[in-house]
Amino acid sequence: MKSYDVVVNHKGFVSLEIVDTILHELKTYLYHKPHDKLMRKRVYSLSVECLDNILKHSDLNEENHELLINYPPRFIVEKIADDYLIHTGNIILNENIDDVIFKLERLNKLELEGVNQLYKESLANAEISDKGGAGLGLIVMAKTTRQKIRYDFEKINKKFSYFAMQLNLKK
């Protein structure tokens, strides 16, 4: 029988303080498990990227907004045997969905070598966006997982959808 553990399960508003708390909890968990050092670094690095993505790219991040009651941001890390699954979710504007799908599909079509090349090109041409990112987050996620990124969009209303992602880290 495979071992299973929910390492982190956060559903609700995300702030810098909450990100710090989640990452501290994760670091403590990883420190006390007999993983190889590379896997610990990959899990932690991927978690930082995911939380940064939620924090910077949620298009609705008002702590008490009524939509967040039914569609809260989420960050879940599960350990199944020697592998990790990371689930994220946040609200985005419907007008941004096509751009996100384009980026994810482009990454999912590439082999690891192609992802690495795209990463190098993006680093060389990076410009900081209005949201404070350089467009590297999804690329770093694909590079770190070495797996296809699973994703889904659930339409909430005419303006917003819930964007869910699942990342798989295999030993």
What average pLDDT does the structure give for the chain? 89
Say what angle helices 137-145 and 112-125 make with each other, to 10 degrees.
150
Residue 83: the pLDDT is 92
Residue 159: the pLDDT is 95
Per-residue tokens: 115:
């992802």
Query: What are the pLDDT digits (tens) for 9-20?
Result: 999 999 999 999
Query: What are the pLDDT digits (tens) for 140-168?
Result: 999 999 999 999 999 999 999 999 999 99
Residue 128 has pLDDT above 80, yes or no: no
Report all structural domains of the chain as residue ranges with CATH numbers, in order of start: 4-169 (3.30.565.10)
Residue 131: the pLDDT is 55
Task: Report the SS3 class of residue 135.
Answer: coil
